[in-house]
Structure 1
């Protein structure tokens, strides 16, 4: 049943507003796929990619409805199927691989039970055959211990392994169409390359017809035969992958390509460094109860030393679990270090918030990865920005009002948003408010923890441009945490590479990237997808580097 042709004609999806009005969110979208072809749906957040992908399951999210058009998969007209036939279609002939595998698995069931569930429910094969098919898929997807991994539970495998297990779950019934919805977005770059490699091999070898949803053109270049570019629910351009990458015709497509190359557009500002701002010596940071020597049960960072000057931007890179965010949290005083010394502005910093002065609070501000979690949903933007002004400065009401508007101008947000709550803002707008709130304190140091990783390519590029501009205007120092070497290269002067809680390489950003010395740094830099076909096949498998990295 693998690889049936797909034909979508004049697809229309509408959403119902709280006032009862209907608005178009997907407008007359048409495309077709031949058997075994991979089509990428690409565009920024809100462009309609996932809405279209879900429509191929005959499904519309709550508050939406498929209001027109047709979807044919082989001989089946999906939008005309009765509910019972749609249930038979989903997870059998059409499978869906979601962005977050962690949210898709039941923590109380072993992995094998969940992978074979669709095959058993649809009566495709017996339990014995389904388990044998699952082991075969585990092997094809390059999962460790293919015969034994099915007996584990979701929390006992890594994020990249869980994402590949979700692919096995989707492929177990030999579906006619597989939808991959941002399947590697939540993964760090080193894990992403191995997952992409496994996905591509299985899709190609099985002749699977597939839809690949993404905002990342570099990833799409490795997976897709053709690309459909969306904005505002409408098709801006579609064509084969080489034409889209090399000869884009629509201005929006060109803007997506430019946003995917931040290092070509942005150059860190040349600022005069005015002496040491932050110095860390022989740091150890961890969690859990400490033993008699004061060593925590779980050591996350060890032997960390760095010096950050005024006006300097230091990038800290590494994969998930390397200790990047813990470093930022410890500098902010949210996690206590168990050994070593940290000196800020010539004074030793307390290991805890309680031991720090209000001025030290003001001078070190943190911009968190998720603005959704960092901003109070019950407060409007004006109240959010006013709070640090009340806390740190003796300003009258008129001065506070004027300063709030200056902050909005600084992060390039219209004053009309001041009365809105976070839930009424886009992801990029929320991150700008998050940044403005930190800048309200007039800090010397901004701790930026993965501030663009939750954003799509276009919005993330705009935030990077803003940070470059703010560095030039304000001369603020940055400790920029990221797993993406391309964003660090675009923004930072210097870089520190963390691997399993230790610094394995540091120095001038351009020099380290041009000539990495440590095998792990080479792995990180070599894992960033390039905007060209064939890049994935040209990269070596990094599994052989693991021993060198540890050594």
Structure 2
């Protein structure tokens, strides 16, 4: 095995607290090394060390050796590395331009990389800005960037986060193909099904330290694969709370408007959970953003308690803003990096409910504590919390607004099993009353089965199937629904281990 890059005895401290302590990790040519562990264990900090990047104010000790060429990086939250002001085509063309060739050759390389990253319509994606893509599409664009760089090492931080099970198969197959080309892959993941089938070696981290390492088969022996989805018993439905009427939405591009939702009619009753399920790019997030006033390029009507809602967030009253709250997939990007998390959670009640600051702070602390976040954790800045901790804080912030409808966009994606269960348990507890309605946007049919009363399946901007969760999981009718179910848990491509 040829050693391509390594870290040795790495220690990273922030504010006198070690977030990585004595970690050694090696990247070998043509091999996939998976780093696993709970949220906050230090996986991402270790992976970023191979790129020479560390948290602000970090004190670093140890040895990091990387190849002379670039190190590719696929982040958990892809929007953080995509320039929001430039179209995808321009971003990728900048990379391939360094390799020379005619304009047609450069464009061909870009489109080939997008195809390898499992994007079915490269031409349409190239014309869009990053914010006009779903989280899954953004993830695949970043994978295309890494492929175009020609790196000898690729650090993939939760690359299957937010992906439907069918797209996940393609991402996994592509990572296997990358390794087959002799590229070293460092896979940071909570998805043990992916790790089990893809990794040559597994490194287990906990509280910043390596607690186990070895061949994947040995380290993961006895760990049960994720179970197929099972539907919950539906609850009695209350009066209609939220609905859409003939909603058609689009994205604006240089070539004109591109329709992304077509004639959507869906309703949500008080105390009900509706799961929006579908492949990446099917329109789930755009629909959720229309409901919340975050996407106003649409025709039709969104109705709350019998009254039409203004399309734009800026046109909604304080009461309307409070009533419909949105929890983003990328919790880190939803927080101000310079202010303590507690202050930002409390501000939701001050701004939207006119709660006195002292009372808002007390309510914020009790709500965060109910989600397992101590006052010490809440007093830190966002960069000092794990992804799971930030996601719970984002949920608490939305709740302090006193919503009638809570829209959760892929909030269990990229979390370890413990953090994922905590989030699902928290959402289930919130629904014990009869008032809070939940729109649960997800690729995770198992999670949808745990929470949802009804499931709506979207494909290419249309609702192709809608019904009770039990019926949808046990007796699916549409081809897309059947494919999503048959691929969960997903069968992964065979790959011979590298020696």
Q: Is 1:238 aligned to residue 213 of structure 2?
A: yes
211, 216, 219: which is aligned to 2:191? 216
The corresponding residue for 2:159 is 184
TM-score, scaled to structure 2 = 0.75
Mapped contact 1:368–1:374 kept (Cα < 8 A): yes
Partner SS for 2:176: helix
SS at 2:432's partner residue?
A: helix
Kept in 1, the 8 Å contact 2:96–2:148? The answer is no
Superposed displacement of residue 503, structure 1: 0.9
Pair 1:519–1:467, CA change in 2 (3 A) = same
Question: Judging changes above 3 Å, is the alpha-carbon distance between structure 1 residues 239 and 473 closer, same or farther for their aligned structure 2 residues?
Answer: farther
Is the 2:347–2:360 contact (alpha carbons within 8 Å) kept by the matching residues of 1?
no
The answer to whether the 8 Å contact 1:107/1:153 transfers is no
SS in structure 1 of the partner of residue 91 of structure 2: coil
Q: Counterparts of 1:464-483 in structure 2 under 5 Å?
A: 464-472=424-432, 475-483=435-443
The structure 1 residue matched to 2:269, chosen from 300, 305, 309, is 309
Equivalent pair of 1:317/1:324 in contact (CA under 8 Å): yes
User: 1:284 maps to what in 2?
Assistant: 248
SS at 1:537 equivalent? coil
- Name 1:326's counterpart in structure 2: 286
CA contact (8 A) 1:26 1:52 kept: no
Q: Which residue of 1 aligns with 2:68?
A: 90
Match of 1:4 in 2: 2
1:499-535 per-residue CA deviation (whole Å, 9 max, x = no partner) reads 22111111122322333322233343345554xxxx2
Matched residue, 1:25 = 20
Instruction: Specify the alignment match of 2:325 in structure 1.
Output: 365
Partner of 2:91: 107
Query: Is there any run of 5+ residues in structure 2 with no aligned partner, and where?
Result: 495-499
Q: Which moved more, 1:22-31 or 1:468-477?
A: 22-31
**TM-score, scaled relative to structure 1:** 0.69
**Are 1:167 and 2:151 matched, yes or no?**
no
Q: Which residue of 2 aligns with 1:193?
A: 169
User: In the superposition, relative to structure 1, how do residues 353 and 110 fare at CA in structure 2: closer, same or farther (>3 Å)?
Assistant: closer
Residue by residue, what CA displacement relative to the aligned partner does 1:182-232 show, whole Å, maximum 9, x if unpaired?
Answer: 37246633433223213314534x466654332321221231133221112
Gaps of 5+ in 1: 69-77, 80-85, 118-126, 249-256, 290-295, 539-551
For the residues of structure 1 that align with 2:429 and 2:47, how far apart are their CA atoms? 37
The residue number in structure 2 matching 1:252 is: none
- Residues 440, 166 of structure 1: alpha-carbon distance in 2 compared, 3 angstrom cutoff: closer
Change (3 A) 1:467 1:185: same
Larger relative contact order (CA 8 Å, sep ≥ 6): 2
Q: CA separation of 1:108/1:425 partners in 2, compared to 1, >3 Å: closer, same or farther?
A: closer
Give the distance between the partners of 1:32 and 1:98, measured in 2 at CA. 16
Structure 2 CA distance for partners of 1:22 and 1:303, relative to 1, 3 Å: closer
Cα pair 2:23 2:209 within 8 Å, conserved: yes
Structure 1 residues 410, 270: closer, same or farther in 2, change over 3 A? farther
Residues 211, 516 of structure 1: alpha-carbon distance in 2 compared, 3 angstrom cutoff: same
Bigger Rg, which one: 1
Query: Where does residue 203 of structure 1 map in the other structure?
Result: 179
1:41 aligns with 2:35: yes
Deviation string 1:277-311 (CA, Å, 9 cap, x unpaired) is 2232222233559xxxxxx9343321111121211
3-state SS of the aligned residue for 2:266?
Answer: strand
- Any residues of structure 2 matched to 1:225-304 within 5 Å, and which? 225-247=200-222, 268=232, 271-287=235-251, 297-304=257-264
Local SS of the residue matching 2:265: strand
Contact conserved, 1:42 with 1:227, CA < 8 A, in 2? yes
Match of 1:536? 492
In the TM superposition, what is the alpha-carbon distance from 1:411 to its structure 2 partner? 3.0
Q: Cα distance 1:103–1:144, how it changes in 2: closer, same or farther (>3 A)?
A: closer
Deviation at 1:103, TM superposition (A): 4.5
- Equivalent residues of 2:118, 2:170 under 8 A apart: no
- Residues 461-487 of structure 1, C-alpha deviations (whole Å, 9 max, x = no match): 322221112212565210111233333
After superposition, give the CA deviation of every residue in 1:75-100 in whole Å (9 maximum; x if it has no partner).
Answer: xxx85xxxxxx6xx3228xx545335
Counting only pairs closer than 5 Å after superposition, residues 18-167 of structure 1 correspond to structure 2 as 23=18, 25-27=20-22, 29=24, 37-53=31-47, 59=52, 61=54, 63-67=58-62, 89-91=67-69, 96-99=72-75, 100=78, 103=82, 107=91, 109=93, 112-114=96-98, 116=99, 142=116, 160=140, 163-164=143-144, 166-167=146-147
Question: 387, 396, 401: which is aligned to 1:436?
Answer: 396
TM-aligned CA distance change 1:279 to 1:221, over 3 Å: same
Superposition deviation, residue 110 in structure 1: 5.1
SS at match of 1:408: helix
**TM-aligned CA distance change 1:43 to 1:512, over 3 Å:** same
Q: Partner of 1:491 in structure 2?
A: 451
Alpha-carbon distance, 1:23 to partner: 3.9
Per-residue Cα deviation, 1:434-489 (whole angstroms, up to 9, x for no partner):
22222223322111122233645543332222111221256521011123333323
Q: Alpha carbons of 1:50 and 1:275: their partners in 2 closer, same or farther (altered >3 Å)?
A: closer
CA contact (8 A) 1:12 1:24 kept: no
Question: Matches of 2:129 and 2:301 in 1, distance apart?
Answer: 35
